[in-house]
Structure 1
């Protein structure tokens, strides 16, 4: 009887070990549909193009649809320069076509001066949004504390905004709802 019990226990252990053994995953053998991109599944599929130009990721601020604040968009430029930032602001409709950076001077104390050829004057509270969009874009991307904005070498001013020599823009955290 003892031999029978030992044999029965051994048989049950063998069955349980076979049931717990790992199995090969099932692989579908259907052909890819039209328009499917074939992948080798190798490392070469994940290697970036060595000829691709390296890009800098930037934030660009622009007026939102209801003109009550700003939207933030992530974009890329080939090189982080003031001219590239101005071009992106033109692309997003913040600055007018033809606006040029006359001078951009970044100092070690976290301040910078930006001299533009023009800033559009809309004669409304939208001018505050435009100035804030320019300020936030430059301050965030160039990691500044303050930004002085000039137009053709003079303090920025229009019918709504009058900036003096000591006036600097600072990053506006609540940019989504300004007015």
Structure 2
């Protein structure tokens, strides 16, 4: 009987040790479908959606929080057009809802932008708005200068009245205009 108990105890101990022994993980023999694999979050495993519409990355300039200059933001549009730029300037609060592009002519580093309206501002507000429009258009369309018209006439605001030879150029000091 003692032999039987010792044998039974030995068998139970061997089974309990076998249960605690680590086992080798099963190896897959076929490659997983890339569409089923979980993303690890890194840029290298991102696959562009072949059905997605291509986007143009643009810079948009808008008034900063204390209205002393401009902020620059990166955004995207489906196509680089004057209408898309104006829509983004409306979205960022530079232009008013309902502003339309009446005409946009671009040639040899210079362009003319004719808008249906611009917000009425003070002279300081005019500077910020004009710089936002100028920087947005000159940077995105790679212009040297931009002529801004409102309903076919030179821009005229609070204290700023542009003449026939006045153009908007990129202002690299856009962060502090006042």
> What TM-score results when the alignment is normalised by the length of structure 2?
0.75
CA RMSD after TM alignment: 1.9
2 CA distance for matches of 1:142 and 1:158?
25
CA 1:125 to 1:48, structure 2 compared with 1: closer, same or farther past 3 Å?
A: same
1:95 Cα offset (Å):
0.1
CA 1:154 to 1:49, structure 2 compared with 1: closer, same or farther past 3 Å?
A: same
Runs of 5+ consecutive residues of structure 1 not aligned to the other structure: 1-26, 28-36
Match of 1:50 in 2: 50
- Matching of residue 99 in structure 1 with residue 71 in structure 2: no
2 CA distance for matches of 1:158 and 1:69?
18
2 CA distance for matches of 1:169 and 1:159?
17
Match of 1:157 in 2: 156
- The correspondence of residues 3-42 of structure 1 with structure 2, limited to 5 A, is 39=38
- 2:121·2:157 contact (CA, 8 Å) conserved in 1? no
Runs of 5+ consecutive residues of structure 2 not aligned to the other structure: 1-24, 26-35
1:39 Cα offset (Å):
1.1
> What TM-score results when the alignment is normalised by the length of structure 1?
0.75
Match of 2:171 in 1: 172
- 1:39·1:45 contact (CA, 8 Å) conserved in 2? no
Match of 2:83 in 1: 83
2 CA distance for matches of 1:101 and 1:76?
19
- 2:123·2:160 contact (CA, 8 Å) conserved in 1? no
CA-to-aligned-CA distance 1:103-147 (integer Å, 9 cap, x gap): 000012x00000000110122411110011000000000000000
- The correspondence of residues 116-135 of structure 1 with structure 2, limited to 5 A, is 116-135=115-134
- 2:121·2:158 contact (CA, 8 Å) conserved in 1? no
1 CA distance for matches of 2:115 and 2:177?
24
Give the number of aligned pairs: 141
2 CA distance for matches of 1:174 and 1:158?
22
Secondary structure of the residue aligned to 2:71 is strand
